[in-house]
A and B are shown apart, each in its own frame.
Chain A
Amino acid sequence: MKDFISHKVNTIPPSGIRQFFDLIATMEGVVSLGVGEPDFVTPWHIREAAVYAIERGYTSYTSNAGSPQLREAISKRLYYDYNLTYSQEDEILVTVGVSEALDLILRAIINPGDEIIIPEPCYVSYKSCTILAGGVPVIIPTMDTGFKVTPDQIETAISPKTKALLISYPSNPTGTALNRDELIGISKVIKKHNLLVISDEIYGLLTYDQPFTSIASLPGMRDRTILLDGFSKAYAMTGWRVGYAAGHKDIISAMCKIHQYSMLCASIVSQMAAVEALKNGKAQMEKMRDEYNRRRRLIVNGFNRIGLDCFMPEGAFYAFPSITSTGLSSEDFAEKLLFEEKVAVVPGNVFGDCGSGYIRCSYATSLENIEEALVRIQRFVGRGN
């Protein structure tokens, strides 16, 4: 049957890590630091709002762009949090998670051969979605600049075919964030070369030390930025599949063209839950964030104590310690650790070649699990391999 598969799909390499995942699923007693989603269940008031919506018979389609109530709530949130004004009429599109929004924006702007600049390590879908949309990913490795992309690196990566820069800070997998000044530096290059920025801000609300700055809020950047965000991480709503894009109306309308034929709309129940999250979810969201913050300090301290160098991540819920001191590759480390101590971590190179020598450890898990994992990792590292 392979002959039937399109060339484009064939160019996407199979995910090597799948087998590793399947293996973990069959093992017992594993402590996992490999989970890229909150360990909290969606706050009760949000679940309750969804149950109530179902009870009242909200079971239909919504308008393609998303329910007016949700678009209004999103518009307000972007105004209150970032002082950004997006019209709920034509500048906000509700999607099935940031995942769909990402696919839409890439398909909406890419002509065959257009280049998208992607700093790595990064979330796994960026490169493949770019290729599937007919684009060419241009990778910037950031391991030598503290996992932060710099204006100079972007300048060097730009070619006449460059269409956009795709960034996500705080980052999955490194947890690094960019401050306002760093973003201003990047925005200057973007404006100079007349490019777009696709900004995946799904971890924006999970920023710990400094307030989060959206690149869209910088001078002259609003119309050049497609801001992607969702409910999965900050509100612990991964399974609801709801997110959004905000940007210039021409771009949002192009995205909506694809969305209306491929997805039609996001689930109405999830959209109603999302309205509740935005209206009444701040306090609980902040509680979860405070909890991640405490775990963050504990796990980073733990890695450094064990002798695995780990910088303090500024956002998301990942620590990204270096394992080069063990002499093992990321993959060998992860595999041996799983077999010998039953701790699951993700090899850093899954997020790009430059993630080699690191492992991604999620602290979206209980303090007890974090401490148990640290004890086991210490034993593993102490044995020498």
Chain B
Amino acid sequence: MDTKDREILEILEKDAKIPLAKIALMIALDEEDVKSRVENLEKKEIILQYKTIIDWEKTDEEKVYAFIEVRVIPKKNTGFDAIAKRIYNFPEVHSMYLMAGDYDFAVVVEGKSMKELAYFVAEKLSPLPHIQSTGTHFLLKKYKLDGKIIEEETMDKRLAMTL
């Protein structure tokens, strides 16, 4: 991966809908070249998915998130990954990380209500083998998501003309 690839990724990370022709202009390559680079990045699974950041709060859709600290006793041969798999395969799991420090996994779960999430933790997550303990924290407000500040102040405070 060279600097042009890195630039392509940076541009797409901010705007997945940007036309390839425009990327080509911005980084001084032909459109064909950009196209094949993007295809290659997709093939190599460096680009995993094109997604949208949605502020669900503004819709009438109910969404609740919880952040769960999970402590486990690792399995002898397969270690953390095998346990992780049993957790992240649940569709309720939005994202999941292996952590260094006080606990082992950070699991973000998504549901329609607190009740639904509490049920998930009590009935699905905690009973799994190797799980030592869980600590559930409900998310109250999102400030920043994937690098995007939710209530970003965007007013241009500059004078309209300066020399």
Is A34 at the interface (CB under 8 A from chain B)? yes
A34 adjacent to B160 (CB under 8 Å): yes
Q: Does B13 contact A (CB under 8 A)?
A: no
Bits for B132-163, please: 1 = Cβ < 8 Å to A, else 0: 00000000000000000000000010111111
Cβ of B11 within 8 Å of any chain A Cβ, yes or no, is yes
Give the interface size bracket for B toward A.
10 to 19
**Per-position 1/0 for A9-47, Cβ under 8 A of B:** 000000001001100110000101011110100000000
Q: Please name all residues of chain B whose beta carbon is closer than 8 Å to the beta carbon of A24 when the two chains form the complex.
A: 160-161
Give bound CA distance, A351 to B156, whole Å. Answer: 25
B22, A34: Cβ atoms under 8 Å?
Answer: no
Q: What residues of A have a CB within 8 angstroms of the CB of B156 in the complex? A: 39
A51 beta carbon closer than 8 Å to chain B: no
Instruction: Flag whether A297 is at the interface (Cβ < 8 A).
Output: yes
Nearest Cβ on chain B to A204's Cβ, whole angstroms? 19
Q: Does B25 contact A (CB under 8 A)?
A: yes
Most-contacted residue by chain A among B7, B28, B163 (CB, 10 A): B163
B160 engages A350 (CB within 8 Å): no
A274 and B7 CA atoms in complex are apart in Å by 28
Return chain B residues, CB-CB under 8 Å to A350: 163
Count of A interface residues, CB-CB < 8 Å:
25
Give B61 Cβ to nearest chain A Cβ, in Å: 28
Which of B10, B156, B161, B162 has the most C-beta atoms of chain A within 10 angstroms of its own C-beta?
Answer: B161
Per the bound structure, the CA–CA distance linking A35 and B28 in Å amounts to 25
Is A182 interfacial (CB 8 A cutoff)? no
- Shortest CB-to-CB span from A284 to chain B, Å, is 13
Chain A residues near B10 (CB-CB < 8 A): 290
Q: Are A32 and B161 in contact (CB under 8 A)?
A: yes
Asked if B27 is at the interface (CB within 8 A of a chain A CB), the reply is yes
Q: Is B16 close to A, CB under 8 A?
A: no
Residues of A within 8 A of B163 (CB): 17, 36, 123-124, 172, 346, 350-351
Residues of B within 8 A of A344 (CB): 160-161
Find out whether the CB atom of A294 lies under 8 angstroms from the CB atom of B26.
Answer: yes
CB closest chain-B residue, reference A365: B156
A87 at interface, CB cutoff 8 A: no
Partner of A301, one of B25, B158, B159, B162: B25
Give bound CA distance, A32 to B159, whole Å. Answer: 10
Cβ of A298 under 8 Å from chain B = yes
Which residues of chain A from 100 to 139 have a CB within 8 Å of any chain B CB? Answer: 123-124
CB of A297 within 8 A of CB of B28, answer yes
Specify which chain A residues have a CB less than 8 angstroms from the CB of B28 in the assembled complex: 297
Please, which residues of chain A bring their CB within 8 A of the CB of B7? 290, 294
| Minimum CB distance partner of A209 in chain B | B28
Q: Is the CB–CB distance between B160 and A297 below 8 Å?
A: no
The CA of A298 and the CA of B27, in the complex, are separated in Å by 9
Question: Could you tell me the distance in whole angstroms from the C-beta of A212 to the nearest C-beta in chain B?
Answer: 19
16 of the cross-chain contacts (CB-CB < 8 Å) are A32-B160, A32-B161, A34-B160, A34-B162, A35-B159, A35-B160, A36-B162, A36-B163, A37-B162, A123-B163, A290-B7, A290-B10, A295-B26, A297-B26, A346-B161, A351-B163
Task: Give me the interface of A with B, judged by CB distance under 8 Å.
Answer: 17, 20-21, 24-25, 30, 32, 34-37, 39, 123-124, 172, 290, 294-295, 297-298, 301, 344, 346, 350-351
- Report which B residues bind A (CB closer than 8 A): 7, 10-11, 22, 25-28, 156, 158-163
Instruction: Report the 5 A-B pairs with minimum CB-CB distance, sorted nearest first.
Output: A294-B26, A34-B161, A36-B162, A32-B160, A21-B161
